[in-house]
Amino acid sequence: MIFFELYLAFLKIGLFSIGGGYVMLPLIQKEAIETHAWLTLHEFVDILAIAEITPGPIAINSATFVGFRIGGFLGAFLATAGVITPSLVFMVTAAGLLSHFSQNNWMEAALKGLRPAVLSLITGAAVFIGRASLLDLASAAISAAALIIFLKTRIHPVVILILAAITGIVIYL
């Protein structure tokens, strides 16, 4: 039963997440913490941190880690399959139809409406993660420094994450 619930939960997340992985985070949080109580907030934030630093899209990595935490390898497979199924079906369908609708005014208008909503969902995910991650002045300083470095330099985000991890080891050990 848990495997079916995992697949359906992540199928729903994949189906209603337009805009990419960061848009999915509030939905994953709702399903994994509030609806099914599979994870605590602390576990969810830890999974997000690991999903962010591992190669691949954060939504797929998060689904895989949550699924593994709940149901081992089969859980990881089913959660990942659930979250990618809608995108796979949509992209195969859209690829065939895109040339017909690329200049359509209705499509362009719909996309103009979706873009700000996607931004709002990403911002909401950032606020949610910030509330769970900014535990003290040191974590706020690490966050602020990482943001400034990211916005003001050309340093690769992986280097910023490595520096933040090293800083966390120095400060918190």
C-alpha pair distances (Å), 11 with each of 34, 63, 136: 17, 10, 36
Mean pLDDT across the chain: 88
Q: Quick check: pTM over 0.75? A: no
pLDDT at 82: 95
- What is the C-alpha separation between 40 and 56, in angstroms, rounded? 24
Is the pLDDT score of 115 beyond 90? no
**Contact 62/25 with Cβ under 8 angstroms?**
yes
Q: Domain coordinates of the chain in residue numbers? A: 2-133, 135-173
pLDDT at 79: 96
> What are the tens digits of pLDDT across the range 27-42?
888 999 999 999 998 8
Kindly state the average pLDDT of the residues 55-73. 91
pLDDT at 98: 63
Kindly state the average pLDDT of the residues 62-88. 94
Joined tokens for residue 19: 């805009």
